[in-house]
Amino acid sequence: MALIYYHNPRCSKSRQGLDLLQQHAVTIRYYLKDPLSELELDTLLSKLVDPIPAIIRQSDVVRLGISVVDTSLPAIRSLLLAHPSLLQRPILETTDRAIIGRPPERLLEILTTM
C-alpha cells in the first residue's frame, strides 16, 4: 500500500511524525517545494478522516492576516491552492484515507487499520 507523507522539515511535529514512520516505506512529499495540484488536493481532501477545516493551519492564517470566514470545501480548496503553507502538517495519506498527525502519534492509527 502506498503511503504519502506530507512533510515540512522545519516543523517539529512533522519531524516527530517522520521518526515514528521509520519502519514503514513512505514517499515523502515536500509540499512547500512541490505544491499539490488541484487534482492532488481534491484527492487528499476526499480521503481526509478529520473535519475538512482542520486541514488549515490556523496559526499561519493569523500570521498571514487572512480572514477565513467560509469553511466550505470549495473555499478551503481555493485557500490551500493559493497558500500551500496553510496546509496542516504532518499528513499521512494511504490509498483510501488520510489523517492529520496532530499529535504525531495519530499517524500510527491509520497504520494499524491497514
- The model's pTM is 0.93
- Full pLDDT tens readout for the chain, 114 residues: 689 999 999 999 999 999 999 989 999 999 999 999 999 999 999 999 999 999 999 888 888 888 877 889 999 999 999 999 999 999 999 999 999 999 999 999 888 877
At residue 1, the 3 state secondary structure works out as coil
Question: Pick the catalytic residue: 6, 11, 58, 63?
Answer: 11
Q: Which CATH class is domain 4-112?
A: alpha beta
- Neighbouring C-beta atoms of residue 16, cutoff 10 Å: 15
Cα separation, 61 vs 69, whole angstroms: 11
- Tell me the torsion sign for CA atoms 33, 30, 35, 81: negative
Is 64 annotated in the active site? no
Radius of gyration in angstroms for the set of CA atoms belonging to the chain, rounded to a whole number: 13
Q: Give domain limits for the chain.
A: 4-112
How do strand 27-29 and strand 98-100 relate by DSSP bridges? Answer: unpaired
